[in-house]
Structure 1
């Protein structure tokens, strides 16, 4: 079992797909990381995570720690950005504070995820 940044990677997946389990890494960034670590042939051959050598794993770990903000650092950065918006009093910050959709979605008929479930009024005549 290979472990990066507190996240276990699946042994039976190809390495480029297994890397996407880490927060902040998508498929295109996974390919970029493999190239930087000198494993571009591994990507083309479709080598699985369990088949990586110790040297390959150490190269990947060095690239991940040196060049990218991932997992906890990225969560922290995102939360700080949201706090900054709320302190500024911007529209986005106010919507975050009120628990409403932030990106322009309508709330009259939809938006149940952010607004909460339907509330029924007792004794209301139909």
Structure 2
């Protein structure tokens, strides 16, 4: 995949969102939609064109699981990036990959490679 993957990023802390977006770009991918709250994230989850999503679990005091449900209904892969553990998620979402904050670029790269082994193997570096 010469152009890399397209990413939908959901994170309520602006500095963390910018840091993750920078890592995504450094890894050869692109952020095509961003949201910092459940309402906007839900709209993007259903309408944006993306390959996968990175979701913070807690958005300004609200849990992201309604957004995750919408993404899952579209059949898109996603992972959680959070300081929380999986115990805060509904049981059906606990099987999803979780990156623990603070996130390193190597952790993000490994997670993307596990979700898209063929696409990342072809990506130029």
Q: TM-score range by the shorter chain?
A: under 0.3
Structure with the higher strand share, 1 or 2? 2
| Structure with a larger share of its residues in helix | 1
